[in-house]
Chain A
Amino acid sequence: QLLESGGDLVQPGGSLRLSCAASGFTFSSYAMTWVRQAPGKGLEWVSVISGGGGTTFYADSVRGRFTISRDNSKNTLSLQMSSLTAEDTALYYCAKVSYSSGWSNDCWGQGTLVTVSS
């Protein structure tokens, strides 16, 4: 199970930190991703972090502004977002990567809403 939190209304240029609490699986054994969905739009991959936390990748749209991290001792995934713009307004999902399922996402949280507006 995955449970996101931290979504809020933030002003353009501001920062926000999202969290995702994991349970029911060996968290440190799996890569984790963030995927977002703007209102009424499709899915957009944001970032991924390896199980150990040593490898990270980002979408071009967020690279340099967002930082993904994890605390395996607390089974928690995080996304630090800065220099936010209206284009970052979206529902942010965390999702588990399934190696046995072709690196697809077999478990998703319910999402946390980030609204960037003045």
Chain B
Amino acid sequence: DIQLTQSPSTLSASVGDRVTITCRASQSISSWVAWYQQKPGKAPKLLIYKASSLESGVPLRFSGSGSATGFTLTISSLQPDDFATYYCQHYNFSSWTFGQGTKVEFK
């Protein structure tokens, strides 16, 4: 089974910071990666799909990149609303796998 490992597990940042979260796959997974944002008590929200495509309505400060085994989610300028937990996800035609999550907290 494919494993997704996110780093870091926790990230301390300030408003205006550029933030990068990494998701590494245990084997090549092409570009079948999505990123989600989850706030406490809320359902996850889709941000990025197919590694780099921005979901409709998601602010342009969010971007995704990568392929094969390495993927990144970047927030170009962290906003107060962005403090949350972020998950990467892979789809492989019969199952979905999530990374363990990265919590972005106030420095």
Contact = CB atoms under 8 A, between A and B. Distances in A.
Interface of A: 33, 35, 42-45, 48, 57, 59-60, 93, 98, 101-106, 108-111
Contacts of A103: 32, 91
Interface band, chain B: 20 to 34
Interface of B: 1, 31-34, 36, 38, 42-46, 49-50, 53, 55, 87, 89, 91, 94-101
Nearest to A55: B94
A59 B101 contact: no
B96 A102 contact: no
Given A42-B101, A101-B55, A104-B34, A48 B96 contact: yes
A109 B33 CA distance: 21
B44 A109 contact: no
Contacts, number: 69
A104 B89 contact: yes
A98 B101 contact: no
Name the residue among A48, A108, A110 with the largest chain B CB count within 10 angstroms.
A108
B91 A104 contact: yes
A115 B89 CA distance: 25
Given A43-B101, A106-B55, A98 B49 contact: yes
